[in-house]
Amino acid sequence: MKVKAYLQVIMKINPENRAAAAKVYTDYRQPFLDTIEGALTKELLIRDEDVAVLHGFDSLEHAKAYLDTDLFKTKVAPGLQPTWAADPDIRFYEVG
């Protein structure tokens, strides 16, 4: 199946909190791919100024629906929240 939409979550995470954030990514990457409807890819992007997670989906509807899943609301977001230096920037993209 081909990626048709992306969810990008861009987070300001101070250097001392990056290991904790990376653990959340590692812990939930496979459950995301195995259990979230339409999930195809998940990549961690690291820059000096921020960290982003790029999620690939088979549709924009599935990308948007992920934010309402139990996995995101009860595990991923609460695990990441203590590492944030600011609220995350959440963006959706459709593949043209």
Confidence check: pLDDT of 77 > 90: yes
First to last CA, the chain: 16
| Nearest-angstrom CA–CA distance, 79 and 6 | 21
Mean pLDDT for the stretch of residues 76-84? 97
Q: Which domain holds residue 73?
A: 5-94
What is the number of structural domains in the chain?
1
Nearest to 53 by CA among 78, 88, 86: 88
Q: What is the dihedral angle through the alpha carbons of 52, 55, 60, 63, rounded to the nearest 10 degrees?
A: -90
Kindly report the CATH number assigned to the domain that includes residue 88: 3.30.70.100
pLDDT at 1: 87
In the chain, the amino acid numbered 76 is V
Mean pLDDT (the chain) is 97
Using one digit for the tens of pLDDT, what is the confidence trace for 22-67? 999 999 999 999 999 999 999 999 999 999 999 999 999 999 999 9
